[in-house]
């Protein structure tokens, strides 16, 4: 058995993971990063939009500052976020963007002079100042008061990922790819590393460390329709949750996007609708104008997703080999607009659909997009329940996003949180010693070997892992998607109870030898079903609508009873998660109020309670 030692073991080498690694390595600690794919293939690299940071360099960003960014983030979260964390984030973001520029990110820069931009299909003029020439510029994103999103053409995630991975190479950090952690090594109090399956050989390896960080991204792949890469399957959440002492924070907080293309669920930008594209049903008739006469297609992501789902439920969806969908129509925008302003959409249509959007309709449907849910940490990134375990990025519920994440804040979170939490891990490691108990290690390895042997031999049953996974994915699409209600959630939980039984009886069809995918899928299927049950149970109990969590039977945001965060534990041997709750935030800089968009009513919280926790400035 190959065994590796390090001060810090980072599971996941996307932007959050590598940023954490860089911070600890700069302080002289020995760091190993593990990744199931070569680091630059991480889902971070797929982010095209940009990173929010209040630099205020460009004309439309003038007057921006960290307080405005903080306010946008809190309102975006529908007051579900930890305001201390949102403050840490907004304050550090500008420094982090400049640091990235120093390391090599080719941010787009301010070009002085007049230029045009579009808003709601209308043309406006702006003028950039000479004195700002060459500083980092920004573009506009939804939900922000100022132009604040730093970007590199249409490949921000890719460019930042390259720079971060270069920085790792420069510092000599060991980034091992094709390695998948399948269990943490812990004694119920302290985490001391992980058991890892090599995805080249299928062999098990042991990684021992003083500190371990889970930075494995989101778990969108437990939904049938998701914009996430195929590697975003919850592996990191599962090994943490599986310890029985680590909770998943706000499992019910899952974000959906209205326009994933069918069949592959690749995202086409909101810009299509922003520039005047329309949504059509099976009869090629518009419907958003019926449900939302004012904003129609331009209502917020969640609102549009909800009406699309509703309309398909009314039998107006287009049937296809890949399930029902609707149409996005941008034909009327014309060739010039499509080949310049929407070039990327044009390319996606060409490469993945064989559709010419000038002449044909684009098949779309609402699609899972982001998990605000995650491994619950405190503001230092330390995971609840296990000493020495940390988490950062989409994998974590650090909780600056609450119940709805703003565009441009996810990619920014990876590096900003990675920097902050990396420093906290460094502080933790100063002078920290731990014991590696050999019996603990060999027990952990034996347990995994035993699981793999039983899966390969079919000793526990012959359920097909892909069929079980499909049952999970479909149950979540039916019961825990954009609309939620009592009956749907109860039926989802019923189904998933049966799915959990089956997940425990999976047996492989193939031998499972080597870089076998069926084995990888089988090793995590039970944990995935448990995540699904956490979402459903959390959503059933939360009898209100907040951010992306929308209950048809409880349409108000209920601050009186639900200004809190769900913590879902899975105790050993249990068949259902155990839910606990904690206050959403330890203090208020901005007391709960109206978000200013999306509508909806609010059941107000007890004023004295809010007052007592409000910071006076």
Partner 1 sequence: MSRQLEFDIFRYNPQEKGSVPHMQTFVLDETENMTLFIALNRLREEQDPGLIFDFCCRAGICGACAMVINGRPGLACQTKTIDLPERITLLPLPVFKLIGDLSVDTGVWFREMYQSTESWVHTTKVFDANAIEERMENEVAEQIYELERCIECGCCVSACGTARLRDDFLGAAALNRVARFVVDPRDQRTDRDYFEIIGNDEGIFGCMGLLGCEDVCPKGLPLQNQLGFLRRKMGITAIKEIFRK
Per CB under 8 A, does 1 bind partner 1? Answer: no
Catalytic residue list contains 286: no
Length of the chain: 617
Measured distance CA(472)–CA(492) in Å, rounded: 9
Dist CA 298 CA 330 (whole Å): 14
Of 319-327, 454-462, 537-545, 561-569, the segment contacting partner 1 by CB under 8 A is 319-327
Alpha carbons 422 and 415: distance in angstroms, whole number = 10
Residue 444 CB, shortest distance to partner 1, in Å, is 23
Decide if residue 461 touches partner 1 (CB under 8 A).
no
Catalytic residue among 257, 301, 405, 484: 257
Nearer to partner 1, 469 or 565 (CB): 469
Site string for partner 1, 373-412 (x = CB under 8 A): ----------------------------------------
Which position among 195, 229, 303, 445 is part of the footprint of partner 1 (CB under 8 A)?
229
From the list 131-139, 311-319, 393-401, 535-543, the region that binds partner 1 by CB under 8 A is 131-139
Instruction: Determine phi and psi for 354, rounding to 5 degrees.
Output: 60, 35
| Of 4, 142, 158, 440, the one binding partner 1 by CB under 8 A | 158
311 in active site: no
Q: Which helix (H) or strand (E) holds 364?
A: strand 362-371
Task: Confirm or reject binding of residue 53 to partner 1 (CB under 8 A).
Answer: no
- How many other C-beta atoms lie within 10 A of the C-beta of residue 182? 23
Which one of residues 123, 321, 431, 616 is an interface residue with partner 1 (CB under 8 A)?
321
- 1, 230, 587, 615: residue in contact with partner 1 (rule CB under 8 A): 230
Query: Least separation, in Å, of the C-beta of 594 and partner 1?
Result: 36
**Closest CB to partner 1 among residues 290, 515:** 515
Q: How far is the CB of 441 from partner 1 (least distance, A)?
A: 24
Output the CA–CA distances (angstroms, integers) from residue 77 to 407, 520, 525, 555, 563, in the order listed: 12, 34, 30, 17, 12
Q: How far is CA 91 from CA 59, 94, 290, in A?
A: 21, 7, 42
Q: Within 13 Å, how many C-alpha atoms sit on residue 21's CB side?
A: 33
Render 394-420 in DSSP notation, one character per residue.
Answer: GGEE-SSSTT-PPTTHHHHHHHHHHHH
Site map 68..107 versus partner 1, x via CB under 8 A: ---------------------------x-xxx-xxxx-xx
Tell me whether strands 362-371 and 254-261 are parallel, antiparallel or unpaired: antiparallel
Beta bridge partners of 132: none
Identify which range of 68-76, 160-168, 335-343, 429-437 contacts partner 1 by CB under 8 A. Answer: 160-168
Catalytic residue among 273, 401, 546, 557: 273
State in angstroms the smallest separation of the CB of 154 from partner 1.
10
Q: Per CB under 8 A, which of residues 251..290 are in contact with partner 1? A: 262-264, 266
Binder of partner 1 out of 8, 68, 175, 213 (CB under 8 A): 175
The answer to whether residue 162 forms part of the interface with partner 1 (CB under 8 A) is yes
Cβ-based nearer residue to partner 1, 200 or 490? 200
Q: Residues 528 to 587: which contact partner 1 by CB under 8 A? A: none
Cα torsion angle, 354, 47, 296, 322, sign: positive
Q: Are 419 and 92 in contact (CB under 8 A)?
A: yes
Site track for partner 1 across 414-453, x = CB under 8 A: ----------------------------------------
Judged by CB under 8 A, the chain residues 342 through 371 that form the site for partner 1 are 348, 351-354, 363
Query: Whole-number minimum distance, CB 1 to partner 1, in Å?
Result: 17
Q: Is 155 in the site for partner 1 (CB under 8 A)?
A: yes
Count of other CB atoms within 10 angstroms of residue 79 = 25
- Compute the distance between CA of residue 219 and CA of residue 535 in angstroms, rounded to an integer: 12
Secondary structure (DSSP) of 36-61? SS-GGGSGGGG--S-EE-----SGGG
- The span from the CA of 194 to the CA of 197, in Å, is 10
Which sequence positions are flagged as catalytic?
A: 257, 273
């Amino acid at each position: 058995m190959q065994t590796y030692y390090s001060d810090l073991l980072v599971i996941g080498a996307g932007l959050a993971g590598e940023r954490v690694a860089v911070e600890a390595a700069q302080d002289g600690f020995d760091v190993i990063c593990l990744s199931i794919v070569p680091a630059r293939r991480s889902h971070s690299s797929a982010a095209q939009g940009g990173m929010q940071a209040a630099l205020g360099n460009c004309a439309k960003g003038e007057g921006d500052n960290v307080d405005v960014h903080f306010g946008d983030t809190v309102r975006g979260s529908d007051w579900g976020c930890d305001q201390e964390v949102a403050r840490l984030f907004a304050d550090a973001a500008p420094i982090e963007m400049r640091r990235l520029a120093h390391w090599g990110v080719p941010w787009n820069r301010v070009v002085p002079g007049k230029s045009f931009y579009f808003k709601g299909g209308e043309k406006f003029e702006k003028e950039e100042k000479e004195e700002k020439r060459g500083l980092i510029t920004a573009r506009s994103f939804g939900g922000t008061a100022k132009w604040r999103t730093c970007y590199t053409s249409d490949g921000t995630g890719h460019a930042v990922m390259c720079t971060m991975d270069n920085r790792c190479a420069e510092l000599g950090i060991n980034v091992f790819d094709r390695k998948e952690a399948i269990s943490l090594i812990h004694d119920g109090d302290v985490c001391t590393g992980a058991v890892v399956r090599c995805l080249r050989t299928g062999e098990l390896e042991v990684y021992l460390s003083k500190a371990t960080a889970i930075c494995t991204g989101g778990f969108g792949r437990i939904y049938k329709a998701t914009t996430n890469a195929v590697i975003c399957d919850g592996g990191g959440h599962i090994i943490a949750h599986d310890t029985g002492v680590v909770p998943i924070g706000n499992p019910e907080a899952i974000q959906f996007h209205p326009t994933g293309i069918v069949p592959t669920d690749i995202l086409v930008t909101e810009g299509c609708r922003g520039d005047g594209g329309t949504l059509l049903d099976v009869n090629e008739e518009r419907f958003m104008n019926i449900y939302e006469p004012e904003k129609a297609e331009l209502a917020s992501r969640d609102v549009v997703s909800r009406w699309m789902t509703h309309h398909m439920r009314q039998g107006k969806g287009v049937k296809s080999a890949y399930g029902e969908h609707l149409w996005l129509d941008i034909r009327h925008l014309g060739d010039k607009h499509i080949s310049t302003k929407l070039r990327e959409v044009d390319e996606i249509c060409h490469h993945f659909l064989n559709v010419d959007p000038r002449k044909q309709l684009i098949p779309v449907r609402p699609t899972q997009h982001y998990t605000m849910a995650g491994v619950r940490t405190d503001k230092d990134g330390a995971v609840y329940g296990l000493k020495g375990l940390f988490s950062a990025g989409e994998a974590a519920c650090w909780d600056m996003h609450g119940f709805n994440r703003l565009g441009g804040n996810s990619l920014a979170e990876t590096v900003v949180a990675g920097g902050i939490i990396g420093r906290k891990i460094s502080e933790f490691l100063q002078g920290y010693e731990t014991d590696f108990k050999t019996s603990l290690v060999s027990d952990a390895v034996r347990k995994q070997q035993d699981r793999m042997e039983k899966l390969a031999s079919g000793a526990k049953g012959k359920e097909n892992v892909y069929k079980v996974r499909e049952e999970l994915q479909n149950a979540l699409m039916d019961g825990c998607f954009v609309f939620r209600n009592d009956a749907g959630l109860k039926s989802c939980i019923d189904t998933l109870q049966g799915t959990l039984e089956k997940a425990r009886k999976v047996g492989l069809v193939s031998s499972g030898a080597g870089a076998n995918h069926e084995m990888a899928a089988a090793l995590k299927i039970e944990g995935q079903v448990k995540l699904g049950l956490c979402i459903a149970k959390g959503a059933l109990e939360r009898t209100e609508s907040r951010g992306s969590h929308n209950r048809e039977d409880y349409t108000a945001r209920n601050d009186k009873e639900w200004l809190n965060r769900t913590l879902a534990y899975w105790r050993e041997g249990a068949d259902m998660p155990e839910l606990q709750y904690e206050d959403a935030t330890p203090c208020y800089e901005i007391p709960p109020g109206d978000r200013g968009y999306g509508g909806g009513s609010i059941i107000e919280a007890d004023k004295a309670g809010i007052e007592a926790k409000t910071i006076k400035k």
